[in-house]
Amino acid sequence: MSSNVQSKSLWRHAFEQLCKDKLALTSLIIVAVYAVVAILVACGVLASDWEKSVGPSYNPPSLEHPFGLDIFGMSVWAKTLKGTEVAMSVGLVTSLISITIGVTLGALAGYFGGKIDEGIVWFYTTFTSIPYIMLVVAIAFILGKGLMTVYLALGLTSWVSLCRLIRGEVMRHKDREYVQAAGAIGGGDMRKLFIHILPNVLHIVIINFSLSFQTAIKSEVILSYLGLGVQGRPSWGIMIDDAKLELARGVWWQLAAATLAMLIVVLAFNILGDALRDALDPKLKGK
Partner 1 sequence: MNKLSLLSVLIVAVLSMVSCTKKEISSEKVLNLVVGSEVKGMDPIYSNDRYSSNETARVYESLLEYHYLRRPYQLSPNLAEAMPEVSNNGLTYTFKIRKGVKFHDDKAFPGGKGRELVAEDFVYSIKRLADPKLQGLGWWTIDGKLKGLNEWREKNTASETVNYDEVVEGVKALDSHTLQFTLVKPFPQFLYSLAMTFTSATAKEVVEFYGKEFLNHPVGTGPFILPEFKQSNRIEYVKNPNYREKTFPCDATEEFEKIAKEYCGKKLPLVEKVIVSIIKEDQPRWLNFQKGNLDFIGIPKDNFDAAVTPSNELASDLSTKGIDLLIQPSLDVTYTAFNLDLELLKNKKLRQALSLSYDVNTSNKLFYNNRALPAQSLVPPGIAGYEKDFKNSYRGHGKEDEIERAKKLLAEAGYPEGKGLKELTYDCPSSTVSRQIGEYTKQQFAKIGVKIKVVQNTWPELQKKIDTRQVEIWSIAWGADYPDAENFLQLLYGPNKVPGANGSGYNNPEFNRLYESASTMQDTPERTALYEKMTRMAAEEMPWIFGVHRQNYVLKHSWLKNYIITDFEAGTEQYLDVDVEAKKVALEKL
Contact call for residues 276 and 18 (beta carbons, < 8 A): yes
Residues 88-147 contacting partner 1, CB under 8 A: 144-145
* Cβ partners under 8 Å of residue 215, min gap 6: 158
With binding defined as CB under 8 A, does residue 48 bind partner 1?
no
Count of chain residues binding partner 1 (CB under 8 A): 19
First to last CA, the chain: 29
Binding of partner 1 by 260 (CB under 8 A): no
Of 117, 246, 274, 278, the residue at the interface with partner 1 (CB under 8 A) is 246
Q: Check binding of 60 to partner 1 (CB under 8 A).
A: no
Q: ∠143-144-148 over CA atoms, to 5°?
A: 65
Residues 182-211 that bind partner 1 (CB under 8 A): none
Write the DSSP string, 76-110. Answer: HHHHHHHHHHHHHHHHHHHHHHHHHHHHHHHHHHH
Binding to partner 1 (CB under 8 A) within 224-243 occurs at: 227, 231-232, 238, 241-242
Binding status of residue 220 toward partner 1 by CB under 8 A:
no
Q: Which is nearer to partner 1, 44 or 282 (CB)?
A: 44
Among 247, 263, 267, 284, binds partner 1 (CB under 8 A): 247
The alpha-carbon radius of gyration of the chain (Å, integer) is 22
Residue 21 in the binding site for partner 1 (CB under 8 A): no
